[in-house]
Amino acid sequence: MSQYNRPRAVALAQQAWDALRQGRWAAAREAAQQAVEADPTLIDGYRTLGYAQVALEDLAGARQTYERAFALTREDPWLWLARGILETHEGHLDRAVASYREAIRLHSPEPRIHAEALWRLADLLHDVDEEQRLLEEAYALEPGNAQVLSGLGEVYRRRGEYERAVPLLRQARAHNPTLAIPAYGLALSLAALGQWQAAQAEAQEAVRLRPGHAQFEKAARAIEHAIAQGAAEGQPAWRG
């Protein structure tokens, strides 16, 4: 008979995940640690513990946690996703790309997990065609995911497809008003379409959300300058 208390471990892992979703990182770490102690074979416990440790900037602790988990299995896509997130935080971007690709190859049955691996990988790439392919696949899985909407909208904006970018970026803002990137992308797209007042409002919002961000502040100044120089609604005179 197993000496591990699996029901207690599962309950604690769920408690830890709930705490993570509420932003209570220390409480999540404590519950996840207890889950792993109750059953050292429960992968959910390690995943959640690693997420909490990354949130608390205990990157060395998170790496040790994932090493213990990988000693149990290397076939869990969520575990590869979690390691990719850690490697991104560590600045090991090549390793992160490899981890996200492995998460995608293993293909989680949970659309949310697979979509997150797709958009996180796309965020690290410099090939706009592959970015678009990955993000469109993620969008098909999770059309209400703000990060996916923002990423795909940004791809279209960078391609100059402003009419396609705007609705996606608006949806991203609606789903998560705290994200600055879609506000910035909207500002540039709307300016390119000659919708200057709306562009100015979005540029100011991006600066408010990310004060001190040089690129956002530059865009806001450029839009304000264009308006001051007499840019009229419906007459695009500046491109981001």
- For 143-231+236-240, the fitting CATH number among 3.20.20.140, 3.40.50.150, 3.30.9.10, 1.25.40.10 is 1.25.40.10
CA distance 98 to 169: 28
CA-to-CA distance for 174 and 13, rounded, in angstroms?
Answer: 31
Rounded to an integer, the average pLDDT of 60-64 is 98
Q: What are the pLDDT digits (tens) for 153-183?
A: 999 999 999 999 999 999 999 999 999 999 9
Here the contacts of 26-35 (C-beta below 8 Å, separation 24 or greater) are: 26/52, 26/56, 28/52, 28/55, 29/53, 29/56, 35/8, 35/9, 35/10
Cα–Cα–Cα angle for 119, 109, 99, nearest 5°?
Answer: 45
**Mean pLDDT for the stretch of residues 190-206:** 95
Per-residue b or e along 7-36, where b marks 16 or more CB atoms closer than 10 Å to that residue's CB: eebbebbebbbebbeeebbebbbbbbbbbb
Q: What's residue 231's pLDDT?
A: 67
For residues 110 and 1, the model is more confident at: 110
Residue 200, classed as helix, strand or coil, is helix
d(CA 22, CA 19): 5
H or E stretch including 89?
A: helix 77-90
**Nearest 5 degrees, angle CA 225-CA 230-CA 231?**
80
Residue-level pLDDT at 235: 65
Percent over 90 (pLDDT), the chain: 92
Residue 20: band (very low, low, confident or very high) from pLDDT cuts 50, 70, 90? very high
Assign 229 a pLDDT band (cuts: 50, 70, 90): confident
d(CA 165, CA 199): 13
Distance, CA of 84 to CA of 173 (rounded, Å): 26
pLDDT of 1 reads 43
CB 173 within 8 A of CB 186: yes
What is the pTM (predicted TM-score) of this model?
0.87
Cβ–Cβ under 8 Å, residues 164 and 156: yes
Local structure of residue 179 (DSSP, 8 states) = -
Kindly report the backbone phi and psi dihedral angles of residue 153, in degrees, each rounded to the nearest multiple of 5, phi listed first.
-60, -40
Res 238 pLDDT > 70: no
